[in-house]
Amino acid sequence: MMNNTATKQILNQLIVDTTQLSMIVHQTHWYMRGTDFLTLHPLMDEWRDDLEDQVDELAERLIVLDGAPTATLAEVVAQTKLTTQPGVYTRTMTDRLDELATDYRYLADLYQQGIEITGDAKDDSTQDILIGFKTAIEKLLWMIESELSRAPKRG
Ligand SMILES: [Fe+2]
């Protein structure tokens, strides 16, 4: 296989940021209050399950490529590009969903970078995984943006 250093780096960045986003979704699950709680509270569990499945798939692909997946929270904190704030009960649901839209958009853009890197490296198998997850996140973004009465933004 060609030099795949860039592929390994983007896979680890995806692992780090997806792990961080999983925690952000957990915070949303715990701290949300207000209209739609009964719908959104269990929905956050599904979103977190999807993120955790994605992390596992990314990590195991990285191992297949002879890489080493990030596996400590200390590294996640040091390397994530997503910002966080302590949980508070007073944020509006709209504000929470807007933050999640921003974070998922960042992740979709990161996936696009990975798709281009693996395309250049002719690594079709890794690219296939990244395309699938980016497509799923874009569908989720459409739904979040619709909840916020906004059009889906293309990344
Ligand atoms: Fe729960």
155 lies in a domain? no
For residue 42, pLDDT beyond 80: yes
Per DSSP, the three-state class of 51 is helix
Alpha-carbon span 155 to 153, nearest angstrom:
6
Q: Is residue 152 part of a domain?
A: no
Please tell me the distance between residue 101's alpha carbon and the centre of ligand 1 in angstroms: 21
3-35 burial code (b ≥16 CB/10 A, e <16): ebeebbebbbbbbbbbbbbbbbbbbbbeebeee
Mean local confidence (pLDDT), 104-119: 98
> What is the CATH number for 72?
1.20.1260.10
First to last CA, the chain: 30
Gap from CA of 108 to ligand 1 centroid (Å):
26
pTM of the predicted model as reported, rounded to 2 decimal places: 0.95
Residue 1: pLDDT over 60: no
Taking the centre of ligand 1 as the mean of its atom positions, its distance from the CA of residue 29, in whole angstroms, is 7
Q: How large is the average pLDDT for residues 97-121? A: 98
Q: How far is the CA of 120 from the centre of ligand 1 (A)?
A: 41
- How many domains does the chain contain in total? 1
Task: Indicate if the pLDDT at residue 50 is higher than 80.
Answer: yes
- The angle subtended at Cα 88 by Cα 77 and Cα 96, nearest 5°, is 80
Q: Any idea which residue has 């059009």 for tokens?
A: 151
Which domain, by its residues, includes 12? 5-147
Please check the confidence at residue 33 and state whether its pLDDT lies above 60: yes
**Is residue 122 assigned to a domain?**
yes
